[in-house]
Amino acid sequence: MWDDIPQVYSDYYWVWEAFFELSPNRPEGFNRLQLIPPSEVESWLNLHNITSTDSRVEFFRLIRKMDEVFVKTKEQMKAESNG
């Protein structure tokens, strides 16, 4: 899927792992992938007892950006395969 595997800095590896834990929770609809719902991100944060507001905001921002790139890449791949 990836031509170049992204390098993940060790300080953010836990966010990378969390993204892949959350990814199956994204809804599908309108014949395309949807973004991971904020409620799923919040549930993950609560489950892992992350209470710092700054950490929660940063985590949500990172997951959302990763998710936007993931969905866009999947859509591009789908368009290319449909020719």
Supply the pLDDT for residue 42: 97
pLDDT at 80: 87
Q: How many CB atoms lie within 10 A of CB 60?
A: 16
DSSP E strands, 9-81: 28-29, 32-33
Give the integer Cα–Cα distance in Å for 65 and 62: 5
Q: For the chain, which ranges sit under pLDDT 70? A: 1-5, 83
The pLDDT value recorded for residue 2 is 54
- The CA–CA distances, whole Å, from 82 to 1, 36, 75, 76 equal 16, 25, 11, 10
pLDDT of residue 18: 96
Distance, in Å, from the CA atom of 56 to the CA atom of 62, rounded to the nearest integer, reads 10
